[in-house]
A and B are shown apart, each in its own frame.
Chain A
């Protein structure tokens, strides 16, 4: 039996560190490091070893346990399975197959900053869908689908990796006891888990929780990431991208913008496939099973095609990692054998980073808008931090700025908010009305978005500079509390906005004198309203800041216990509300 053989093979990997010879580091993060190594007793088979520092991943051991268990019990050709795992002093070594071409994020960063061809994307996505179909059938949510977690081997085979934040509907976290445990209510999760740019709106903000369809959203974002070399909204700081997601508006326009600015033409079936995944209403997104039948995946090529079209001439994972270190790219740029813990890596750096470094980063971000700075394009595209910790930092910075009422920044900020949110909400509203109209709005939106982008970039610069100043103060310790409050506040605001927008839109629609002007008026009104809300929220935040300062580090502890913030090895955040 095949299963039997596999088990046997698996068991023969020795459970002691002396049987492995470590070659080099191919990725690292806050609490885990990934090495390329060979297993000596097994004819020096090449393996990847993820060494998780159990002392540093101070969240409970249960997450580590759950990840190890998932990697043992899941068995599918498109899922990276662990050979074995064992402890070496206070490290857990997870021995895995070495996927020699590394992650798609690393491949794109180093060689395809403008994204892959559609036929290559189809191969990658189809294999990923096979994995998702299996996972969902097993009652598992991956919760962190992104190019950084999709690995490729030299033969073109594709595997989904990193179950650090995955969850199973059959294994509830808390010890629930009711017999109705497995009724459908159990299919819903409420934890905030994943990586901001890839997170579905309902994961960020929902009253009812989320389920398998959240993976489908992230899958759609991943499709865009593969197509453009970066996920949508990655020019914004992560928390702002979350904010945008809740308003549901920038998404399509961002997609359109990228398409036109990159002079990349995508087929109708690709666009259709992606937009079905990115439906704001989770129930309207297709299941993995249905997606596999989508015309986009018809006539899909095989792994050999990937080898010929993508992998040829690619630097090795080791080289890419070294390069990224040399050029001071953040380690996230090279995601190795599936461990995206690297993402946590940049945080530490960030906290010590100076304003100068950040200016460099702004340049790095330029390739995102190639029409402006084609010559600035570089091999390694980087997104801004992908981690909520950075989001915290930005939020902090903003708070401080608002608190001190730094005039220039607040101006920029209000510009930004006026332009984007009001407009987008207007778009949103029309989105529901007519699709034809949307196209037109997208045109408008595109213009605005360019402003928006400049603004946000400038703003980011300020933000991080001030982050540095706040870093050493105890307020940072309270960071985990802030994004949650912030999110709640923001989303409430948004809901208000959307509602009043709708009301205004409907009443305006009845009279129908000059709809365009009406909308502009509404926008102006709304911006005013938003301004006021902003002020109010900044007051609130100032208060919060005060409380936080008085309680200093204590707050972190509270937030840790209340929100269960886990700065675990998993890198992506895992906050349960």
Chain B
């Protein structure tokens, strides 16, 4: 990477300050209705800003010639969070060029992991500026920004307190729509973030699911598991398995597998033509069957469909040998076969 400042090297802190000044300039000078001279000046500043951000990235990540220096990273991080640089950067992102946006995203991502005096000061900053999450999340509604804001968001929710904030915000409901956006890049980015939210911080997730069980699974079932979109169903049923099979969520799991509506949905997923979906659905379905305290209505559904289920399971194989799967399958078959006399 060629350095802009080779003649007069600036310290990391100075580059951060320069970046901040340029961001303030860009933020306060809108591009509409301005003189030609102003416009030229603005473009120059823009160019300088892009170079600064590239410079920050180089300090944080190193380059082909040099590895990052801990001291420089630490200085940069401290200066960055001393003032509102992150907010400015996020707000100004739409005005940056594609390359500068990518650099900025990588800088923000890296800063989340930088420790200063063994503290993640990014976390402290974000806790005081939680509203930034709102900007990042609503980025999914803007195709031009979605991938950049989305990547920043995923780094921010590495901090447990920030993840909790997002989980408890109203934005959680929006994710059910973002995941199904027609644009594949954005929808899949949103679903990666959603999965991260629902699986990363176990205790927080368990607490969230317990508190929000009703609406969350109502949405999850109707919008995701019963979505007309193949990829939404496939990802959702996989995520459901991951969530329910997590030890931290055992209470939620017990509740989920005691509902006959849930059983019906999973049984329908077992009938899909997609092998991938069938397989993931089986990993949830087995929980219904293995439950030692099956409610009567679950039992009666299983008994009513016993012969069909046994026939299906008998012929249900994976393309590749899977011992765990076979063991699970024979146990499920045993459980179903052992249920009371048929009605």
Contacts and interface: CB of A to CB of B under 8 A. Distances in A.
Given A61-B188, A556-B320, 11 more contacts: A7-B98, A58-B276, A61-B234, A61-B235, A72-B185, A73-B102, A75-B99, A86-B183, A87-B230, A90-B274, A556-B321
A87 B229 contact: yes
Given A86-B184, A182-B110, A557-B321, A11 B235 contact: no
A144 B332 CA distance: 45
B89 interface: no
Contacts of B235: 61
A16 B183 CA distance: 10
B182 A69 contact: no
Contacts of B189: 65, 69
10 contacts: A11-B144, A15-B183, A61-B234, A65-B192, A69-B185, A73-B147, A75-B98, A86-B183, A179-B115, A183-B68
B320 A65 contact: no
A534 to B, nearest CB: 31
A92 interface: yes
B295 interface: no
A553 B182 contact: no
Contacts of A3: 97-98
Interface of A: 1, 3, 7, 11, 15-16, 54-55, 58, 61, 65, 68-69, 72-73, 75, 84-87, 89-90, 92, 137-138, 170, 179, 181-184, 187, 212, 287, 477, 551-557, 560
> Ordered nearest first, which 7 A-B pairs have the shortest CB separation?
A554-B321, A557-B320, A15-B182, A85-B184, A553-B321, A90-B230, A182-B61
B214 interface: no
A85 B113 contact: no
B320 A560 contact: yes
Contacts of B184: 68, 84-87, 92
A42 to B, nearest CB: 17
Contact of A85 (B62, B185, B275): B185
Contacts of B319: 58
Nearest to A186: B61
A92 B182 CA distance: 11
Contacts of A54: 230-231, 234
B322 interface: yes
Nearest to B231: A87
B283 to A, nearest CB: 15
A525 B321 CA distance: 45
A170 B276 contact: no
A494 B144 CA distance: 52
B323 interface: yes
B114 interface: yes
A80 to B, nearest CB: 16
Interface string B93-136: 00001110010001001100111000000000000000000000
A55 B321 contact: no
A557 B230 contact: no
B275 A55 contact: yes
A179 B113 contact: yes
Interface of B: 1, 60-62, 64, 67-68, 97-99, 102, 106, 109-110, 113-115, 143-144, 147, 182-185, 188-189, 192, 229-231, 234-235, 274-276, 318-323
Contacts of B102: 73, 138
Contact of A182 (B60, B274, B276): B60
A184 B62 contact: yes
Contacts of B234: 54, 61
B113 A181 contact: yes
Nearest to A92: B184
Contacts of B322: 557
Nearest to A84: B183
Contact of A61 (B110, B229, B231): B231
Contacts of B192: 65
B274 A55 contact: yes
Of A7, A87, A89, which is in contact with the most chain B CB atoms at under 10 Å from its CB?
A87
A36 B113 CA distance: 45
Nearest to B46: A1
Contacts of B114: 179
B276 A55 contact: yes
Contacts of B98: 3, 7, 73, 75
A477 B62 CA distance: 43
B284 to A, nearest CB: 18
B61 A72 contact: no
Given A55-B275, A65-B188, A87-B231, A477 B320 contact: yes
Nearest to B62: A184
A87 B143 CA distance: 16
Contacts of B97: 1, 3
Given A58-B276, A61-B235, A552-B321, A7 B144 contact: yes
A112 to B, nearest CB: 36
B311 to A, nearest CB: 23
Contacts of A16: 182
A138 B99 CA distance: 9
A1 B101 CA distance: 14
Nearest to A71: B185
A54 B184 CA distance: 13
Contacts of A68: 184-185, 188
Contacts of A553: 320-321
Contacts of A90: 230-231, 274
Nearest to B43: A1
Contacts of B231: 54, 61, 87, 90, 92
Given A65-B188, A179-B113, A179-B114, A85 B183 contact: yes
A551 B322 CA distance: 11
Given A15-B182, A61-B231, A85-B183, A72 B147 contact: yes
Contact of A183 (B67, B143, B144, B323): B67
